[in-house]
Amino acid sequence: MGVVPKQQTPLILLGGASGSGKSYLANRFGRPHLELDNFYREISEHTADSPLPQTGYGEIDWDHPGTWNCNKAVDALIELLESGQTQVPNYSISTSSYDGTHRIELNGGPLLAEGIFVSELLSPLRRLGVPVQAYYIEVSAVTTAVRRFVRDVKERRKPILFLLKRGYALFRADRQIRGRHLDAGFTPMKKKSVKKLLAAVARGELPNSP
């Protein structure tokens, strides 16, 4: 059976490279904004018997979907749409662990969900019959690389050396990341156009299906 959103709340998934402005737009126009990065797995789950994915330079690959709990993210979205509220983990990127939870409630819509693994959500949501729109924010790789590094250093997300290695890897993978989202069914759109669309949805003007 499909899931019918409470009061037909518009659900929009925002994709884009890390540093493209997903969080900014979702926080500005989302009512509410669901931060999908809170569904990362904890570093305590990385064991010899069940290791998390790793990079070629021996670090846990936090850009691999295997480090993220897709099922819990889907469950939270469904609960939010059905009941009007859900509990979301408080995930610390610097410690790779949870510190309690916080409640998110519908507040008139739209519900905007974003995160680096948002492309993993579109297929299961559509299989469940959830009305959903999905857009990929088009920003140059150089711009996102600079914004990402400045943000991550300011927020002390990880050690500098790790951020440099990760930043270079993400810069090289920019085209691949875009392709993954488009293959999943996301519609590519310039950031200015996404902002205009979200402003319209926030005013109650529903977008047409792409």
Six token digits for residue 2: 């499909």
CA–CA dist 102, 122 (Å, integer): 24
For residue 54, with 0-12 CB atoms within 10 Å meaning exposed, 13-18 middle and 19 or more buried, which class applies?
middle
- pLDDT for res 7: 46
Residue with tokens 């519900």: 111
Mean pLDDT computed over 182-194: 96
- At 13-54, the pLDDT tens digits run 999 988 888 999 999 999 999 999 999 999 999 998 899 999
34: three-class secondary structure by DSSP: strand
Whole-model pTM: value is: 0.83
| 54-76: pLDDT as tens digits | 988 788 998 899 999 999 999 99
Fold entry, domain 6-202: Rossmann fold (3.40.50)
